[in-house]
Amino acid sequence: MTVYHNWWKILGVVLIIYVLFRGILTPLKPGIFEISPARFESGNEIDIQVEGYNTFYTKGNLTAYIKHSDQFLIQSSKINVTSDNSVNVVFNLPKYFPDSNKLAQFTFILSSDFDGTTVLPSRIIIHQDSIDYQSGVVSWTLAQKPVFSIVHKYWFPYRNILHETIRNTFFHVSLWFTMFWLLFMSVYFSFKYLKTNVKDYDLKAFALVRTAIFFGVLGCLTGALWARYTWGTWWTKDIKLNMAAISLLIYFAYLILRASIDDEDRKARISGAYNIFALVAVVPLIFVLPRLTDSLHPGNGGNPAFGAEDMDNALRLVFYPSVIGFICLGCWMASLLYRLDRIQLKFDEKDNNS
């Protein structure tokens, strides 16, 4: 019977353990860490040094391409493999490329029958002295359509900016999902208290808010670590970060409000009403305002949300269990706080009656 009633706690622990092992031990897909140099003049033979990540260049047959837009590309003339993670690629750049500008960005593609196809988008910049679009079309059109190698393995996608920190998706994002789940639950119990005046509902709402704040702080800390690696700073002027900080301050004010009121019934009523209006204020701060202006966060300010390479099936197999696991853990923590508050309340009532 105990196991039956506590199945969700067991599920939460199992899922968190699964996320820790699967999320940390699954390797990243091979990728291109860096190429150098990256700026060239058209009409020259160029030599590009490619540094790979989690690659095995010595074990596969390699073909390299420089691509412009969706249909124009040229193939490498020579490839010299120096190690599993390093290769020199030589291209003969045509005098013209198919663009109406003298300066354009190009994508580097390296296809290996062992690692699969790796891409470094918009990294190469080429300058042409004059423009001849039609000659560029002819020069950048291959006689035979290239075949890119595809290797089917279970690994996480490689993102040039994120690298290994893509694993933080399972923690940073899941922590914020859990925080909002707990806050919505707390508002439900605040409504219940204001409608019935049953003290237990207020205690449940209070426990849920405190647990949600804890997860929100962890979300900010994991986000700061992520920002330090990807953006080069612990904190930026990004609107989503600032709105998240304001949201936490709103709920810190909730804790201060409760602590400043001595009368229990008055405390419960005021904090219940505050909790409802706090969530009404926080939702637009987090989910609406960042979409109306520029933001570095995915899904905000024109920055696209998780795409196929950001959140593929390999990530989803860990991300969704992570969200469920952290929600179960958060509810468990809140239930423990609630039980402690009930015990404390009974002791206080006993002291008052004696």
Q: Residues spanned by CATH 2.60.40.10 within the chain? A: 31-139
Query: Where is mean pLDDT largest: 146-155, 183-192, 277-286?
Result: 183-192
Considering the chain, what percentage of its residues have pLDDT values greater than 90?
67
Sheet with 72-75: list strands edge to edge: 39-41, 116-127, 103-112, 62-68, 72-75
**How far, in Å, CA of 312 to CA of 152, rounded?**
13
Closest among 132, 108, 101, 128 to 40, alpha carbons compared: 128
Residue 31 per-residue DSSP state: E
What pLDDT does residue 3 have?
52
- Name residues whose C-beta falls within 8 Å of residue 318's C-beta, 6 or more positions apart in sequence: 18, 19, 22, 23, 26, 170
Distance of CA 24 to the CA centre of its chain: 15
Burial class (CB within 10 angstroms; exposed 0-12, middle 13-18, buried 19+) of 80:
exposed
Angle at 115 between CA 111 and CA 121, to 5 degrees: 50
Task: For domain 31-139, give the fold.
Answer: Immunoglobulin-like (2.60.40)
For residue 1, pLDDT beyond 50: no
SS3 content of the chain, % helix, strand, coil (to 5): 55, 20, 25
What pLDDT does residue 305 have?
52
In three-state secondary structure terms, 46 is strand
Sheet with 45-53: list strands edge to edge: 31-36, 45-53, 86-92, 78-83
41: confidence class by pLDDT, cuts 50, 70, 90: very high
How confident is the model over 224-235, as a mean pLDDT? Answer: 87
User: 200-204 — which CB contacts under 8 Å span 24+ positions?
Assistant: 200/342, 202/268, 202/271, 202/272, 203/338, 203/341, 203/342, 203/345, 204/334, 204/338
Q: Rounded to two decimals, what is the model's pTM?
A: 0.86
For residue 230, pLDDT beyond 90: no
What pLDDT does residue 310 have?
57
For residue 309, pLDDT beyond 60: no
Amino acid at the residue 170: F
39-41 and 116-127 strand pairing: parallel
For residue 354, pLDDT beyond 70: no
CB 261 within 8 A of CB 267: yes
